[in-house]
Chain A
Amino acid sequence: MAGLEEIAGHLGLGLSVALTPGNVLYCFLGALLGTLIGVLPGLGPATTIAMLLPVTFHLSPIGGLIMLAGIYYGAQYGGSITSILVNIPGESSSVITCLDGHAMTRQGRSGAALATAALGSFFAGCVATLLVALFAPPLTDLVQLFGAAEYFALMALGLVAAIVLAQGSVLKALLMILLGLMLGFVGTDVNSGAHRLTFGLEGLADGIGFIPLAMGVFGIAEIAVHLERMQGGAAPAAAITRLWPTRQDFRQAWPAVLRGTGVGSLLGILPGGGAILGSFAAYTLEKRLARDPSRFGQGAIEGVAAPESANNAAAQTSFIPLLTLGIPSNGVMALMVGAMMIHGITPGPTVIDQQPELFWGIIASMWVANLILVVINLPLVGVWARLTRVPYRILFPAVLLFCAIGAYSYAHSVFDVVLTMVFGLMGYVLLKLRCEPAPLLLAFVLGPMMEESLRRALLIGRGDPTVFVTRPLSAAILAVAALLLVVTILPAVRGLRQTAFRED
Chain B
Amino acid sequence: MQSTRPDILAAGLFATIGGIVVAGSRGLEPGTLMRMGPGYLPTTVGILVLALAAVLGLRAALARPTDEDRVDWRLGPIAAILAALGAFALLIDPIGLVGATMALIAAARFADRPLRPGETLVLMLAGAAFSALVFVHLLQLPIALWPA
Contacts and interface: CB of A to CB of B under 8 A. Distances in A.
Report A-B touching, CB under 8 Å.
yes
Interface string B84-98: 111011001100010
Interface in A393-435: 393-394, 396-398, 400-401, 403-405, 408-409, 412, 414, 417-418, 420-421, 424-425, 428-430, 432-435
B59 A191 contact: no
Contacts of B56: 171-172, 175
Contacts of B62: 499-500, 503
A191 B55 CA distance: 34
Contact of A433 (B63, B71, B82, B113): B71
Interface in B7-56: 7, 9-10, 13-14, 17-18, 21, 24-25, 28-29, 32-39, 41-42, 45-46, 48-49, 52-53, 55-56
B10 A435 contact: yes
B57 to A, nearest CB: 11
A221 to B, nearest CB: 8
Interface in A149-199: 169, 171-172, 174-175, 178-179, 181-182, 185, 189, 191-192, 194, 196-197, 199
A51 interface: yes
B59 A192 contact: no
B85 A420 contact: yes
A461 B42 CA distance: 22
A223 B81 contact: yes
A451 B62 CA distance: 36
A290 interface: no
Contacts of B112: 227, 230-231, 392-393, 396
A51 B143 CA distance: 13
Given A51-B139, A228-B77, A231-B77, A171 B41 contact: no
Cβ-closest 4 pairs across A and B: A463-B34, A227-B77, A189-B38, A417-B89
Interface of B: 6-7, 9-10, 13-14, 17-18, 21, 24-25, 28-29, 32-39, 41-42, 45-46, 48-49, 52-53, 55-56, 59, 62-63, 71-74, 76-78, 81-82, 84-86, 88-89, 92-93, 97, 100-101, 104-105, 108-109, 111-113, 116, 119, 123, 127, 131, 134-135, 139-143
Question: Chain B's interface: helix, strand, loop or mixed, by majority?
Answer: helix
Contacts of B119: 393-394
Contacts of B18: 178, 182
A462 B139 contact: no
Nearest to A52: B139
Given A37-B139, A172-B10, A425-B82, A396 B45 contact: no
Given A228-B77, A397-B108, A432-B73, A417 B92 contact: yes
Most chain B CB within a 10 A radius of its CB, from A40, A224, A403, A425: A224
A98 B128 CA distance: 28
Interface string A422-454: 001100111011110000000000000001001
Given A191-B38, A394-B123, A178 B45 contact: yes
Contacts of B52: 171, 174-175, 178
Contacts of A196: 24-25, 28, 38-39, 42
Contacts of A171: 52, 55-56, 59
A146 B42 CA distance: 26
Contact of B108 (A172, A197, A396, A434): A396
A472 interface: no
A458 B6 contact: no
Contacts of A214: none
Contact of B38 (A194, A405, A414): A194
Nearest to A176: B14
A135 to B, nearest CB: 37
Given A197-B42, A499-B62, A433 B9 contact: yes
B65 to A, nearest CB: 13
A459 interface: yes
A396 B85 contact: no
24 contacts: A175-B53, A179-B17, A181-B41, A182-B42, A197-B24, A199-B24, A227-B112, A231-B112, A231-B113, A232-B72, A397-B109, A401-B105, A404-B88, A404-B100, A405-B131, A417-B89, A430-B13, A432-B6, A458-B36, A459-B35, A465-B33, A496-B59, A499-B63, A500-B62
Interface in A457-476: 458-459, 461-463, 465
A151 to B, nearest CB: 16
Contacts of B127: 397-398, 401
B38 A401 contact: no
Contact of A404 (B25, B77, B78, B104): B104
A414 B135 contact: no
A231 B1 CA distance: 15
A400 B32 contact: no
A179 B38 contact: no
